[in-house]
Amino acid sequence: MATRPEDSLAKMVANLKETTGKTIEEWRAVIAAAGLEKHGEVVAHIKSVYGVTHGYANQIAMHRNAPAAEEGPTIEAVFAKRDLARGVYDALMVKVNSFGSDVDVAPKKAYLSLRRKKQFAILQPAADRLDVGINLPGTATTERLEASGSFNAMLSHRVRVRSVAEIDGELVGWLKSAYDAS
């Protein structure tokens, strides 16, 4: 299974001491002592003075003000107070998980990202439905398979699912096509 970007970044931050010789807390002290505030200044300073690669310097700069322990969103938090959407999600994921063992569900603040090697769909709860964003570039829209529009620019289409009964072969087929292409 492909590594999620947030897992790669977390691993990079966890390996800071081994790779750069300093923990994030020690880097924070270096940055404060240098009086640096802007991201680009921090990156340039760490690269030029300490010989750290751009990737690590960028991560140090990004995490310079972050709390020591960050926890990401959970599936439960995404569906808080959205029982109808949660029921649709649970039924839909039975179908999606049958595509293969490499389906990864990554909770975000307001939605769930479904990935394989790359994101192929998102599931975003609403008060009366589950919005299913699908990455199907080049596929014509229908009354049911809408263009994503302002819903999410990372995807081409959206389907509004208001009940478990709407999880049919057509919807599953669109998701499987997006999965296969990812």
Segment-wise mean pLDDT, segments of 10 residues, the chain, 182 residues? 61 78 86 89 93 88 68 83 93 96 90 93 95 96 94 92 97 97 94
Q: 140 and 82, same structural domain?
A: yes
Domains held by the chain: number: 2
Give the separation between CA 5 and CA 11, rounded to whole angstroms: 10
Give the C-alpha separation, 123 to 133, whole Å: 6
Domain contains 68: no
Same domain, yes or no: 168 and 79: yes
Same domain, 26 and 79: no
pLDDT of residue 21: 87
Residue whose token pair is 């029921």: 87
Q: Is residue 85 one of the residues assigned to a domain?
A: yes
Identify the pLDDT of residue 164.
Answer: 97
176 found inside a domain: yes
Distances (CA, A) of 180 to 1, 24, 119: 14, 39, 11
The pLDDT value recorded for residue 151 is: 86
Q: Are residues 52 and 131 in the same domain?
A: no
Note the pLDDT of residue 5: 61
For 146-161, write each residue's pLDDT tens digit.
Answer: 999 888 888 999 999 9
Please report the pLDDT score of residue 135 as a whole number. 96
Residue 81 zone, left/alpha/beta (φ > 0; ψ -120 to 50; rest): left
Q: Which structural domain, as residue segments, surrounds residue 25?
A: 5-62
How wide is the angle at C-alpha 116 spanned by C-alphas 69 and 100, nearest 5°?
115
Residue 178 has a pLDDT of 97
Classify 57 in phi/psi space as left (phi over 0), alpha (psi -120 to 50) or beta: alpha
Residues 79, 169 within the same domain: yes
Q: Report the distance separating Cα 130 and Cα 88, nearest Å.
A: 7
> Do 90 and 29 fall into the same domain?
no
Say yes or no: 95 and 143 in one domain: yes
Q: 73: exposed, middle or buried (C-beta count within 10 Å: 0-12, 13-18, 19+)?
A: middle
Boundary (domain end) residue, out of 62, 84, 110: 62
Do 135 and 83 lie in a common domain?
yes
pLDDT, tens digit, 9 for 90 and up, residues 104-131: 998 988 999 999 989 999 999 998 999 9
Structural domain includes residue 67: no
pTM: 0.64
d(CA 100, CA 124): 22
